[in-house]
Amino acid sequence: MASKSEVVITMLPNAQIVESVLFSETNGIAEYMSPGRMVIDMSSLGPNDSIAISEKLKSLEIRFADAPVSGGEPLAISGELSVMAGCDESDLEYIEEVISPMAASIVRVGEIGAGSTVKLANQIIVNVNIAALSEAVVLAKKYNIDLGKMHEAIGGGLAGSSVMEAKFPKMIEEDYSPGARSISIIKI
């Protein structure tokens, strides 16, 4: 299949799996791809991993972009993800054409590795917001505040955010199931 594909998109849990899919000795798809084809990796990897994968693909004359996403499952289902693309500027139009059905926005944030860096920055902001929201819920519960009313009262103000809209209803329902299956340890 890879030999007939113009582009391969990966969205996998970690760099080790991405590398295995691309470069495994027993069926790594990169060896079947023709020069000039492209891999768009939408996984959440560290920038150094993205750069290393890009270098291996470059030696095979295969183009690469690191294009991780933000928005979680709800926006993936509706095709409204935000994509942070690290790529050669000359590849951006092609990347937009390929992934636009799943994205509300596609922004080239720099060269290869930049997409992964911006995704890390995004996760810092999201996780700090989740931690703050959790603390606010604990405080409100301690004083027997109706969490639904609290959400209504502050959701439209300065504290309101996409994180609040995605996570507060789950906290009200005490649904603390994880939103992601894996966490990558990133060495900077």
CA distances, 17 to each of 117, 165, 169 (Å): 19, 32, 33
Give the pLDDT score at 188. 46
What φ, ψ does residue 69 adopt, rounded to 5°?
A: -125, 160
Percent of the chain predicted with pLDDT > 90: 79
Give the pLDDT score at 148. 94
Confidence of residue 162 (pLDDT cuts 50, 70, 90): confident
Give the pLDDT score at 135. 95
Give the pLDDT score at 79. 92
Give the pLDDT score at 9. 95
Shortest CA distance to 9 belongs to which of 37, 44, 39?
A: 39
In this predicted structure, the answer to whether residue 119 has a pLDDT above a threshold of 70 is: yes
Pick the more confident residue, 72 or 179.
72
Confidence of residue 178 (pLDDT cuts 50, 70, 90): confident
Give the pLDDT score at 76. 87
Return the CATH superfamily for domain 1-188.
NAD(P)-binding Rossmann-like Domain (3.40.50.720)
Average pLDDT in the chain: 91
3-state secondary structure of 180: coil
Select the highest-mean-pLDDT range: 109-118, 161-170, 178-187: 109-118
Output the pTM of the full model. Answer: 0.86
In this predicted structure, the answer to whether residue 101 has a pLDDT above a threshold of 50 is: yes
Q: What residues are labeled active site? A: 119
Instruction: Please state, in angstroms and rounded to a whole number, the distance separating the CA atoms of residues 115 and 50.
Output: 9
In this predicted structure, the answer to whether residue 97 has a pLDDT above a threshold of 70 is: yes
Mean pLDDT of 101-124: 96
Q: Taking a C-beta distance cutoff of 8 angstroms, is the pair 104, 83 a contact?
A: no
Give the pLDDT score at 2. 83
Confidence of residue 60 (pLDDT cuts 50, 70, 90): very high
In this predicted structure, the answer to whether residue 110 has a pLDDT above a threshold of 90 is: yes
Pick the more confident residue, 186 or 128.
128
